[in-house]
Every structure is written in structure tokens, then in C-alpha cells.
Amino acid sequence: MKELKEHKLLEAAAAVRENAYAPYSGFAVGAALLTDSGRVFVGCNVENGAFAPSLCAERAAVAAAVAAGEREFAAIAVIADGSDYCYPCGVCRQVLSEFCDDAFVIFAAKTVRDFKVYRLEELLPHGFSLREDGE
């Protein structure tokens, strides 16, 4: 993936983070998902007073992409408050694995210029799948 695309994805995640609804945790998260077809879908966390229905930024981005007819993803950038690198939670890793192969790239960002790069297989080894391709 080219430097320019990484930067674009990180900027998109940082921008949508501004829309996060996180009055309970105070922890705003932004995610930008790149599809294999080259489109970018964004998501932010949307919390709820009942807590359990709260939605993570990554899953919001996945839902937006799937609703637009996209099912094959290449990469995601995730960014929070800059205090540390922001990694997708376990539930989000599992949700991403439904639509991604092991080559899927995760940019866990502290800032738009300071991020770590992982493959999904590093963050979710032996993830559960009912897909017939076994991935």
C-alpha cells in the first residue's frame, strides 16, 4: 500500500473521530476502512446509556461498507485520543475477519503520523469462521 493511501486513511479516521458519540467513556474513536475496490468507509463509536448496545467505530465502518454493497476489505485505520496506539477490540477483530483475508492490514494509530501496522492474522490468530474458504 502506498504511503499516500495510508495517510489518507489515517486522516479519514481522525476526521470522523470528531463525530464520535462517547459521553459515557469520554473515549472517542474513529475508523476508516479501505475496500479492495478502493473505496473508503468511515465509522465512529456510538455509545448508549444502557452501555451494552454501544457500537465501536470499526463495526460502524464495516456496517457502512456492507450496506453500500462492499464485502471485501483491504485495510482499516483506527485512531483515538493520541495517548496510545488504538487497536481494534476482540469483537471488532472477529467482525473484520468475516470480510477479510489474512493479508488485511490494520493501522493502529496514536496520531495520523505515528501508527503501527499489523496483519489481521497477527491480531486474531485462528479466528472463528464458518466461511467455506476457511479464512
Considering only 54, 95, 118, 121, the residue that binds ligand THU (CB under 6 A) is 54
Residue range at the interface with ligand THU (CB under 6 A); choices 69-77, 87-95, 107-115, 122-130: 87-95
Give the DSSP H or E segment for 58.
Answer: helix 57-67
**Binding of ligand THU by 106 (CB under 6 A):** no
Q: Are 47 and 57 in contact (CB under 8 A)?
A: no
**What are the grid coordinates assigned to 4, written together?**
499516500
Q: Are 58 and 76 in contact (CB under 8 A)?
A: yes
Strand locations in the chain (E): 30-35, 40-44, 73-79, 105-111, 114-119
Q: Are 113 and 97 in contact (CB under 8 A)?
A: no
58 is catalytic: yes
| Pairing status of strand 40-44 against strand 30-35 | antiparallel
Considering only 16, 17, 45, 79, the residue that binds ligand THU (CB under 6 A) is 45
The residue among 22 and 112 lying less far from ligand THU, judged by its C-beta, is: 22
Residue range at the interface with ligand THU (CB under 6 A); choices 7-15, 50-58, 102-110, 126-134: 50-58
**What are the grid coordinates assigned to 45, written together?**
463509536
**What are the grid coordinates assigned to 69, written together?**
454493497
The residue among 23 and 69 lying less far from ligand THU, judged by its C-beta, is: 23
Select which of 11, 18, 47, 58 is catalytic: 58
Residues annotated as catalytic (active site), given as ranges: 58
Q: Which residues bind ligand THU (CB under 6 A)?
A: 22, 25, 27, 29, 45, 47, 54, 56-58, 88-89, 92
